[in-house]
Amino acid sequence: MIRSAMTAPEWARLSFALALAVSLAIAGYIAWRASVLQPYSDMYDWIARYYQFRADGDLGRYLLAPHNFHRIAWMFLVLDLDIRFFGAHGYLEVAVALVCLAAVAGMLAKVAAEAAGPGFGLIGGGVAVAISTLGCHLLQAGTHITTPYLHGLVFAVAAIVVVNPEAGASGPFRRLAALGCAVASGLGIATGLAVWPALAFGAYRQRTWPWLAAVVLAAVAFGFLYGLGQPPKRLAVETRAFVGDIRVLRIGDEADAAGVSLDCRVVECVVHEGL
């Protein structure tokens, strides 16, 4: 990673901090005013599944059965909590999604601030926060049928960041946490499966062969389990789409050729695909 010896002027940091504060205030207003709380579209299927769960008590089927190929366990868990304890007003789903988005912004801000170097941490981290809280992302958090993408995204980003070698992240516990986050990402949304090739490519570039083997074996096992119970035609279509996500490997090569931090580009790719 290239570190700059320069330091941003004080006036520039203050101006940027003010602009960031205004951006976050606008983000808060959008989150408050643009949330969609009424059931529509896929949500009717979710509610029907909830009533089926209340009738038969099959928690495993309720949380893990495919919904349009996706397994959205965290969404169904939040839905259950909202109905049981919060009056089913829909606020809990939005709140959880905003927490996920805030966590993504925080993780990316930390990586960006470290990459920017001394004197530019505020600007590097602030840009990451501003991009993470753009209106389109907030609208996704405020719309129930798209909140699962944020559930998957927060775990995907965490899986990459927790084993980021440039931040000194290594060791068996961090790698185990990365595998757990990758699994949790897939249980948030099917696009979370894209984090597996990202982790594998990172392990390959680090030449940590035991870690690469662990990632590949875990990915194959989890992918097999994810495919169980899926309609065959749907599984074939989604498998082809997932294979297309492996273009993250090509993006990594392009980043390396351009002298850009590999881990930052991989995180950027996952965020772009998720948001």
CB 148 within 8 A of CB 70: yes
Contact yes or no for 138/27 (Cβ under 8 A) = yes
Say what the pLDDT of residue 273 is: 43
Q: Let me know: does 182 contact 131? Beta carbons within 8 Å.
A: no
Backbone angles phi, psi at 67, to 5 degrees: -125, 105
Residue 195, CA distances (Å) to 35, 70, 143, 154 in order? 28, 15, 24, 11
Distance (Å, whole) CA 128 – CA 115: 11
C-alpha to C-alpha distances, 38 to 85, 101, 143, 178, nearest whole angstrom: 18, 21, 9, 35
In this predicted model, what pLDDT tens digit does every residue of 99-134 receive, in sequence order?
A: 999 999 999 999 999 888 888 888 889 999 998 888
Which one-letter amino acid corresponds to residue 180? G
Query: Can you tell me the distance from the alpha carbon of 29 to that of 220, in angstroms, rounded to the nearest whole number?
Result: 43
What is the secondary structure of 115-148 as a DSSP string?
Answer: HH-TT-HHHHHHHHHHHHT-HHHHHHHTBGGGHH
Residue 144's pLDDT band, with cuts at 50, 70 and 90, is very high
Residue 232 predicted with pLDDT over 90: no
Q: Read off the pLDDT band of 259 (50, 70, 90).
A: very low
Structural domain boundaries in the chain: 17-274
Prediction pTM value: 0.81
Q: pLDDT value at position 269?
A: 40
- pLDDT for 5: 55
